[in-house]
Amino acid sequence: MRSNFTKRAHRLAILGLCVAGTAPMSRAQEGATGTSFIETFDRLDTKAWYISDGWNNGAHQNCTWSKRQVKVEEGVLNLTFEKRQSGEREFTCGEIQTRKRYGYGTYEARMKTADGSGLNSAFFTFIGPTDKKPHDEIDFEVLGKDPGKVQLNQYISAKGGNEKLVDVPGGANRAFNDYAFVWEKDRLRYYLNGQMVHEVTDPAKLPVNAQKIFLSLWGTDTLSDWMGKFSVEGPTTMQVDRVAFTAAGDPCQFPESIACTLN
């Protein structure tokens, strides 16, 4: 966890950074309303972020989204899962999402995931029918049953099945790790701690619709084959130190950004 002073210094350092990469990427697609940004969670700007509250995503989710499970402390976003009755569910959980939609570019998050089988700590982008668009999605998901791996996936018009598991040395729940993907019109590259771990070039497996950025922690009693048998003792927290988006062709947003070194 970095101090707020260090985070401010990083923002100032952006002024001296070069434009991301030397080869221009495709322009953002129709519907993208968001521009490049870095979020260091000195506070939670609710004009930029929507906090999910008072509902759930369906029968597979055993918790109710609650704004009480979303807090910013000492420059870190904390999303907490705990046993507390809310609405139809025995547990509560936390999620935030951007109000704007983002297109081609570099997406990055530095996070430490929660403990507990049956939980999902996720950094992803999504758009769907509630926004009058097809279901497109790009995922980093750490399943509590095995925090030594992160699952990558894409949905294109609601079709998934593109999962890939990547090792997270030392465990995603033991330390902060850097997760990033670079989304272009003709390819998608996933990165873990600065190293590319997966590349997708099949047009049928590449999302095309601008999406919102999500950070979420939730649990399940029913998807045990995927997420493991639910077993959570006491509150557990997913922590996010930083999130950034660098639009194609824009200067990178912080010195360690993948976008600073892309070709």
Tens of pLDDT along 139-180?
Answer: 999 999 999 999 999 999 999 999 999 999 999 999 999 999
One-letter-per-residue 3-state SS of the chain: CCCHHHHHHHHHHHHHCCECCCCCCCCCCCCCCCCCEEECCCCCCCCCEEECCCCCCCCCCCEEECHHHEEEECCEEEEEEEEEEECCEEEEEEEEEECCCECCEEEEEEEECCCCECEEEEEEEEECHHHCCCCEEEEEEEECCCCCEEEEEEEECCECCCCEEEECCCCCCCCCEEEEEEECCCCEEEEECCEEEEEECCHHHCCCCCEEEEEEEEECCCCHHHHCCCECCCCEEEEEEEEEEEECCCECCCCCCHHHCCC
Which of 141, 163, 184, 256 is catalytic? The answer is 141
- Over residues 199-233, the pLDDT tens digits come to 999 999 999 999 999 999 999 999 999 999 999 98
Residue 20: predicted pLDDT: 36
- Which CATH number goes with the domain that contains 155? 2.60.120.200
137 in catalytic set: yes
Structural domain total, the chain: 1
Provide the mean pLDDT of the chain: 90
- Give yes or no for a contact between 181 and 191, defined as CB atoms under 8 angstroms apart: yes
CA 186 to chain centre: 21
Task: Give me the amino acid identity at 76.
Answer: V
Least confident of 5-14, 44-53, 72-81: 5-14
Please, which residues have CB within 8 angstroms of residue 238's CB and are 6 or more apart in sequence? Answer: 78, 79, 80, 81, 94, 111, 112, 113, 114, 121, 215, 217
Question: What average pLDDT does range 41-62 have in this prediction?
Answer: 97
Domain coverage including residue 43: 4-260
Least confident of 11-15, 45-49, 111-115: 11-15
88 in catalytic set: no
pLDDT reading at 10 higher than 70: no
Which of 88, 137, 163, 233 is catalytic? The answer is 137
- Give yes or no for a contact between 89 and 62, defined as CB atoms under 8 angstroms apart: yes
